[in-house]
Amino acid sequence: MSTTTVINKKDLKVSAIAENIIGSEIIKLASEVNEKIKNGEKIYNLTIGDFNPKIFPIPSGLKKAIIDAYQADETNYPVAEGMPELRAAVSAFLKRKGGLEYKPDEIVIAGGARPVIYAIFRALVDVGDTVLFPVPSWNNNHYTYLNWAKQQIIETKHENKFMPTAAEFAPFISEANLIALCSPLNPTGTTFKKKDLEEICDLILEENVKRNAANKKPLYLMYDQIYWNLCFGETHHYDPVSLRPEMRNYTVFVDGISKSLASTGVRVGWTFGPKRITDKIKSILTHVGAWAPKAEQVATSKFLADTEAYDAYLDQIKAKVNDRLVAFHAGFQKLKEEGFSVDSIAPEGAIYLTVLFSLNGKKMDSGVALNTTMDITKYILDEAKVALVPFYAFGTSPESSWYRLSVGTCKLEDVEVIISNLRKAISKLS
């Protein structure tokens, strides 16, 4: 006769790092929104930084090249650091579009930007090291945690469009081991001014003069530019190495096709930087097995090399994204002119708009007050049927009233409806 032992879940011991890991706040919010949609509610979901492929399909040439690669049986393991033809294509692409000269052997391909970021942290951050980064920003807190490192956050100001400055970093620079930056920034859709990025680079270079003299590990910069080809109007993308060539020794980039080609599910990303570091990143990813699929790599190499097709697609997607961002910004500014406690920051890049709801203390018809950002978020979702991500999901203070609005799943004709819904919902408050 067998007996069954009932095990309390708390008795199933896991590692300390697994015990305390926190899942993505954005994905958690999105799952709540999706549950409402499943229940038949019409929700305008502006939360996930993704694209609806029916609205933003990947380039037809890239799709055909992927299908052709599978039909040609390109289905075995790719080269560990990425297919040679793709690394060569990325090298040429970086020089053509950004004036950056990196050899193919300084480039590592991976299954999107996430494994690249993880590997950069693993390659550069030791247990107990300090990672310095601004908030709001995407996932730096989680990658810091996964490396048993300490985080030093800088809560940026809306007056500077939530981009960090050298003055804000300066008090912490001597203790930092890695600085993590992103431009255009997720979640704000804003970008570095040339002067601000130059001053941060100068701060890093000055610190490394001291460290080199003392034979200490350098202060490195991880520069995430996954959205760099989605800059709008007169906005110019700046990178550390172009501004300060000496930064080449200390900068590791994050890049890929996920955003500029609306190819989030294709999973082709890359990093480039000093060869000694990218060699270590390759070794780390070899053990993780976070390769981009071989067929997708072969296809991406062909599409990046087709400069006419790439540029035509980029012009098209930039126009579609910008139309939505500009329409939302105009809508929020109209609401502001009408006396509603909202605001927005003019879009500069990426697929995001930064919006403000200063509704704390306002009362609903029931007489219940909106006392917290969570209350406001829920009210906007329930009454306006609009789902947004509050900045506290990106590491800011829970009291922040700023939000990320993502347009990758939005039809242009929906913008007017969404603004109307917000107007009606906020009008009900007293």
Fill in the DSSP letter of residue 76: S
Q: In the numeric block, which tokens belong to residue 281?
A: 């990143």
CB 253 within 8 A of CB 273: yes
- What is residue 12's predicted lDDT score, i.e. its pLDDT? 85
- Cβ within 8 Å of residue 304, ≥6 positions away: 86, 89, 90, 92, 93, 257, 310
Global pTM reads: 0.96
CA dihedral 186, 194, 103, 210 (to 10 degrees): -100
Produce one character per residue of 210-244: b if its CB has 16 or more CB atoms within 10 Å, e if not. eeeeeeeebbbbbbbbbbbbbbbeeeebbbbbebb
Per-residue pLDDT tens digits for 198-255: 999 999 999 999 999 999 999 999 999 999 999 999 999 999 999 999 999 999 999 9
CA nearest to 114, candidates 252, 213, 258, 317: 258
Structural domains present in the chain? 9-56+312-427 (3.90.1150.10), 60-306 (3.40.640.10)
DSSP letters along 82-127, please? --HHHHHHHHHHHHHHH-----GGGEEEESSHHHHHHHHHHHH--T
Per-residue pLDDT averaged across 104-131, rounded? 98
Q: Tell me how far apart the alpha carbons of residues 352 and 407 are, in angstroms, rounded to a whole number.
A: 6
Give first-to-last CA distance, the chain, whole Å. Answer: 68
Percent helix, strand and coil across the chain, each to the nearest 5 = 45, 15, 40
The CA-based angle 294-315-68, given to 5 degrees, is 25
Residue in the block written with tokens 């949609």:
37
Per-residue pLDDT tens digits for 383-410: 999 999 999 999 999 999 999 999 999 9
| Omega within 30 of 0 (cis) for the link into 136 | yes
Q: Which whole-number Å values give the CA distances from 412 to 12, 32, 161, 342, in the listed order?
A: 49, 24, 25, 21
The yes-or-no verdict on residue 183 having pLDDT over 80 is yes
| Omega within 30 of 0 (cis) for the link into 390 | no
Q: Tell me how far apart the alpha carbons of residues 236 and 228 are, in angstroms, rounded to a whole number.
A: 9
- What is residue 52's predicted lDDT score, i.e. its pLDDT? 97
The yes-or-no verdict on residue 187 having pLDDT over 90 is yes
Q: Tell me how far apart the alpha carbons of residues 233 and 214 are, in angstroms, rounded to a whole number.
A: 45
- What is residue 28's predicted lDDT score, i.e. its pLDDT? 75
Per-residue pLDDT averaged across 54-60, rounded? 98
DSSP letters along 242-283, please? HH-GGGGGTEEEEEESTTTTT-TTT--EEEE--HHHHHHHHH
- What is residue 24's predicted lDDT score, i.e. its pLDDT? 75
Extended strands (E) in 156-312? 178-182, 220-224, 251-256, 269-272
**Averaged pLDDT of the chain:** 96
CA nearest to 232, candidates 197, 196, 189, 198: 189
